[in-house]
Chain A
Amino acid sequence: MRVTVIDYKAGNLTSVLKTLRHLGAETFVTDGDLSLVESAERIVLPGVGHFAATERLDTTGLTGTIRAAIARGVPFLGICVGMQWLYAGSTEAPQQAGLGYFPESCSHFAESTEKVPHVGWNSLEVRKGSRLLAGVEPGEFVYFTHSYKGPVTADTAAVTQYIEPFAAAVERDNVMGAQFHPEKSGETGLKILRNFLAWRAREAAC
């Protein structure tokens, strides 16, 4: 299994790389070498930190190359800010456009007496038919750390409740995203990453 991991200089890649390798993946890191995206079998876009950091994906030409890879059917997983980038944008950096694969935008948690960022282990309400979250049972928890979130829509693969319901995971065809950190979510996270590494396009029905 070969996985191309995108480095856009937003935080630390070590955890994601280590976990993918633990699951048997051969990892290739690119911070601008487009050929590693053009030849990618699978793509992971990690990310912690600020949405504005995704500007680097545009300036390096990675955005267009990733868009083309997604159109070819390459399985793609965005984690945290990497998932938020799949939307049209985020109020965290309104001048910075996302990929726009999902037409909505991400926004800050509503004013509340609860603490923001949302940090810690929270539960998932998995929608039927999710392939990324197959085998995740009620009562399993995953680790979050974020202040911005995506809205619940038809593309939402799992909903989590904190202040309000938000998209803990998204999934449409070969494009998947997790607002939580599967690489930090114990056995449940490993199961989710295994699902991603095993993801295959469905055979066209005859």
Chain B
Amino acid sequence: MLTKRVIACLDVHAGRVVKGVQFVDLIDAGDPAMQAARHAREGADEIVLLDITATHEGRQTLLDTVRRTALELFVPFCVGGGIRSARDAEQVFEAGADKVSINSAALADPALISAIGASFGAQAVVVAIDARRDPEAADPVRDAQVFVQGGRRPVGRAVVEWAREAEQRGAGEILLTSMDSDGTRAGFDCELTAAVSEAVGIPVIASGGAGTVGHFAEVFGRGRADAALAASIFHFGVTTSRSLKEELAQVGVPVRLPC
């Protein structure tokens, strides 16, 4: 049986894992390679490494970090942040990533999705969408808007429509982050996740708001998510993928339990 994936996200700044709320008040949360290996050992189904600095100067540091992290990691490994061209993506793949996550660069140039897919396969292209509900709209969920710059700037596109276009252009998966929920630990935006998941035929990874086991069960259930991503609840030993998955299994969610 195909299981629901639990994905551990490492936010990385200048070669270190960091944690903060909405990218401020950053706390050092360790070495990316060690953290990734620990998450994999504890049962994370996939690792996402997100470069939150994503400056030009930081690229070499990032590639070194990816290389070091990939070396002993034998589960799928996705890298995002600052990938603006097919060449950027190629360097990240050569360093050992299996997938890249692209966000604002795909919005600026949607042909980038197929350009990366043509060389590395659609399964390697994850289109990340930062979404906010539109409280002014008749249907705040169906009309949720795409944002960039950490949720500060709307781009004038509806989330569901952009997800569909990304799929048509050859995205392998959608990583949907609810900026309304991100950092709150109050639960995923299940309505928005379900709206996107039902609109596309490719897997949807829910992100933003993970706080309890119940939140994961909800987003896998009524949120129709194929995978769910969390960062902060895994840091500093708050909970592990193992304990999270054992509890999910108890409530009937199909998950891969680590050996």
Contacts and interface: CB of A to CB of B under 8 A. Distances in A.
Interface of A: 10-12, 14-15, 18-19, 22, 48-50, 115-123, 139-141, 143, 145-146, 161-162, 183-190
A184 B5 contact: no
Interface string B131-172: 000000000000000000000000000000000000000001
B3 A122 contact: yes
B227 A186 contact: no
Kindly state the interface size class of chain B when it binds its partner.
Answer: 35 or more
- Nearest 6 Cβ contacts at the A-B interface: A49-B121, A48-B121, A141-B256, A145-B123, A121-B256, A12-B93
A123 B1 contact: yes
B51 interface: no
B5 A120 contact: yes
Contacts of B2: 118, 120-122, 162
A121 B5 contact: yes
B123 A48 contact: yes
8 contacts: A11-B120, A15-B96, A18-B96, A117-B172, A119-B203, A119-B226, A143-B75, A187-B259
Contacts of B75: 143, 184-186
A118 B96 CA distance: 22
B124 A12 contact: yes
Nearest to A15: B98
A10 B2 CA distance: 26
Contacts of A116: 201
B93 A14 contact: yes
Contact of B45 (A117, A120, A139, A183): A120
Contact of B3 (A121, A145, A186): A121
A7 to B, nearest CB: 13
A20 to B, nearest CB: 11
A186 B40 contact: yes
Contact of A48 (B1, B96, B124): B124
Contacts of A18: 70-71, 96
Given A22-B71, A117-B203, 7 more contacts: A12-B93, A14-B93, A22-B74, A49-B122, A120-B227, A145-B123, A189-B74
A115 B202 contact: yes
Contacts of A145: 123, 172
Nearest to B4: A120
Interface in B34-69: 40, 45
Nearest to B227: A120
A10 B122 CA distance: 11
A69 B227 CA distance: 41
B257 interface: yes
A145 B123 CA distance: 7
A139 B4 CA distance: 15
A11, A22, A116, A185, most chain B CB atoms within 10 A: A11
Contact of B74 (A117, A146, A162, A185): A185
Contacts of A162: 2
A140 B259 contact: yes
Given A11-B120, A183-B74, A121 B98 contact: no
Given A120-B45, A120-B226, A161-B1, A184 B98 contact: yes
A141 B40 contact: no
